[in-house]
Amino acid sequence: MEFICLREDLQKGVQIVERIVSVRTTLPIVGNILFETTKNGLKLSANNLEVGVEIMIPAKIIKDGAVLVPAKTLAGIVAKLPPEEILFKLKDRGIINLSYKKSTFNLHGLPADEFPSIPKVKEDKSFKIEAGTLSEMVAWTVFAASTSEDKLILNGVLFDVGKKILRMVATDGFRLSCKAEKISDVTGETSLIIPTRALNELNRILQLVEAGEIKVVAGHDQISFRSKDFYLVSKIIQGKFPDYNQVIPKKSDTKVKMDSKALLASAERVQVIAASSANIARFEVKGSELHMLASAPDVGNIEEILEVEVKGPEKKAIAFNIRLIIDALKVIGEREITFEVSSPLSPGVLRPADGADYIYIVMPIRTQETVTA
């Protein structure tokens, strides 16, 4: 096996697959990256038995072959290589020779046939979606998934696939994030839960490659994402996801329209104090103003006041975890939003004011002030 490639291309490929490699496993072989030559260039693969990924990088193939390379060692080497053409040569007894200019690295490789193959999902139900759209959907939902192992079904994001619409939903029991977008070439409706780790890796890849259109294929226990340059497959979390439609309020009494950037800045200042009191902040709507208040014994207090556009009656003393509000505002970005509230014990609702199909639900916190208000 022998090929030549640019250090930039090699580093990008290794950077993508190396994150998949498991550092805690009873199967040491998955700590390696599989290098394979193909008619289209060089393919790099990693597989931790939960998530598998393949990435194509441009290379001049001199001699066909395949070999396993220790992932962590290779990543450390490639990061330090000069911006030159790299000659990769597999020599006798599994010695891998990486040379550039007059310098050389030698590594011990392993036979490629020991690597667990990355499964190809049987094309049962599938759809297509633009890479940029998919990336945004992941970013707008995955942060709301649970990190607790108490309920594994909440450690993922629901893919609710309709005839023309994909809805992605995540919740940790305290908040819920739901984003919907159009999809094409749908071959079957389905509903399944994708682990957050797989989606985070998918989104990282989408930031690094020009993926174009993504074909998503869902099987009984696996799902795959394929573009012209990469392939990612993940196990599906088995179980029934909560009925998210029951959580979404049918109506809200008061709607507050404002700039999300201004609200985020105020909320982050409020959190400085709220962090010392379980992140609890009180929200009050007075006339054309939104007041955010927090206090903590032995620390201090704060009141932020924003000029807003209000529809509906004033609302007093509705408490929320300010961190959960900040999380949503960071992904929504610089646009106008509506913040909808009702009673002190009803969920708050954040939506983009421009009509984008997104909704964020945050549960209220019961406090002495909200009970007596």
pLDDT in tens, 285-296: 999 999 999 999
The answer to whether residue 88 scores a pLDDT higher than 70 is yes
User: What's residue 114's pLDDT?
Assistant: 87
In this prediction, residue 300 has a pLDDT band, given cuts at 50, 70 and 90, of: very high
Are 129 and 212 in contact by the 8 Å Cβ rule? The answer is no
| Conformation bin of residue 364: beta by default, left when phi > 0, alpha when psi is -120 to 50 | beta
Amino acid at 56: M
Per-residue model confidence (pLDDT) at position 25: 67
Q: What is the pLDDT of residue 106?
A: 93
> Do 238 and 266 share a domain, yes or no?
no
- 289 lies in a domain? yes
Alpha-carbon distance of 159 to 194, in angstroms, equals: 7
Average pLDDT over residues 135-153: 94
Residue 237 sits in the same domain as residue 269: no
Mutual angle of helices 7-18 and 71-80, in 10-degree steps:
150
d(CA 1, CA 35): 10
Contact 318, 344 (CB under 8 A): yes
Residues 240 and 255 in one domain: no
The predicted model gives 189-199 an average pLDDT of 96
Using the predicted structure, report yes or no on whether residue 12 has a pLDDT greater than 90.
yes
Is the entire prediction scored with pTM above 0.95? no
* Host domain of residue 210: 125-245
CA torsion, points 144, 147, 150, 155, in degrees to nearest 10? 60
Query: Per-residue confidence at 356, pLDDT binned at 50, 70, 90?
Result: confident
Say whether both 109 and 138 belong to one domain.
no
Radius of gyration of the chain (CA): 25
**Domain membership flag for residue 292:** yes
pLDDT at 28: 86
**Mean pLDDT on 59-81:** 94
At residue 17, the pLDDT reads 94
Q: How far apart are CA 171 and CA 177, in angstroms?
A: 6
Q: Report which secondary-structure segment, H or E, holds 272.
A: helix 260-274
Q: Please give the average per-residue pLDDT across 79-99, as a whole number.
A: 93
Does residue 120 form part of some domain? no
Confidence of residue 24 (pLDDT cuts 50, 70, 90): low
Rounded CA separation 312/307 (Å): 15
- What's the mean pLDDT in 91-96? 92
User: Which tokens in the block code for residue 373?
Assistant: 């208000």
Domain of 320, CATH number, reads 3.10.150.10
Beta bridge partners of 24: none
Q: Is 103 in the same domain as 167?
A: no
CB distance 277 to 312 below 8 Å: no
Same domain, 151 and 210: yes
Residues ≥6 apart with Cβ < 8 Å to 149: 155
Q: Which of 226, 245, 264 is the last residue of a domain?
A: 245
Q: What is the pLDDT of residue 62?
A: 96
pLDDT at 372: 57
Amino acid 373: pLDDT: 53
In 10 A of CB 93, how many CB atoms? 6
pLDDT value at position 369? 67
Domain presence at residue 220:
yes
pLDDT band at residue 4 under the 50/70/90 scheme? very high
Residue 276 shares a structural domain with residue 363: yes
- Position 277, amino acid: S
Strand spans (E) along 236-314: 254-259, 280-286, 289-296, 300-307, 309-311
Taking Cα atoms as reference points, which of 50, 52, 232 lies closest to residue 131? 232
Same domain? For 232 and 275 the reply is no
Give me the mean pLDDT over the 90-109 stretch: 92
The pLDDT score that the predictor gives to residue 21 is 87
Tens-place pLDDT, residues 236-269: 999 999 999 998 888 899 999 999 999 999 999 9
Question: What pLDDT, on a 0 to 100 scale, did the predictor assign at position 101?
Answer: 87
Look at residue 26 and tell me whether its pLDDT is greater than 80: no
175 and 80, same domain (yes or no)? no
Q: Of 210, 245, 280, which residue sits at a domain end?
A: 245
Tell me the sheet residues that pair with 207.
none
Domain identity same for 254 and 367: yes
Whats the size of the chain, residue-wise? 373
Determine the Cα–Cα distance for residues 40 and 248; give it in Å rounded to an integer.
48
Whether 216 has a pLDDT exceeding 90, the answer reads: yes
Average pLDDT, the chain: 93
Residue ending a domain, choose from 245, 272, 288: 245
DSSP β-ladder status, 85-90 and 230-235: unpaired
| Structural domain contains residue 119 | no
**Within-domain flag for 181:** yes
Q: Say yes or no to pLDDT of 371 above 70.
A: no
CA separation for the pair 337, 355 (Å, rounded) = 9
Question: Do 97 and 162 belong together in one domain?
Answer: no
Is residue 369 exposed (0-12), middle (13-18) or buried (19+ Cβ within 10 Å)?
A: middle
**What does the pLDDT read at residue 191?**
95
Q: Are 76 and 157 found together in one domain?
A: no
312 Ramachandran zone, left/alpha/beta (phi>0; psi -120 to 50): left
The average pLDDT across 170-177 equals 97
> What percentage of the chain has pLDDT greater than the value 70?
98
Identify the DSSP state of 223.
E
Share of the chain above pLDDT 90, in %: 84
- Tokens 């597989």, located at residue: 47
Residue in 30, 51, 54 with CA at minimum distance from that of residue 40: 54
Q: Which pLDDT score, from 0 to 100, does residue 370 have?
A: 63
| CA dist., res. 179 & res. 286, Å (int) | 31
Report how many domains make up the chain: 3
Average pLDDT over residues 295-303: 95
| Residues 298-322, mean pLDDT to the nearest whole number | 95
User: For residue 162, what pLDDT is reported?
Assistant: 95
Strand, coil or helix: 147: coil
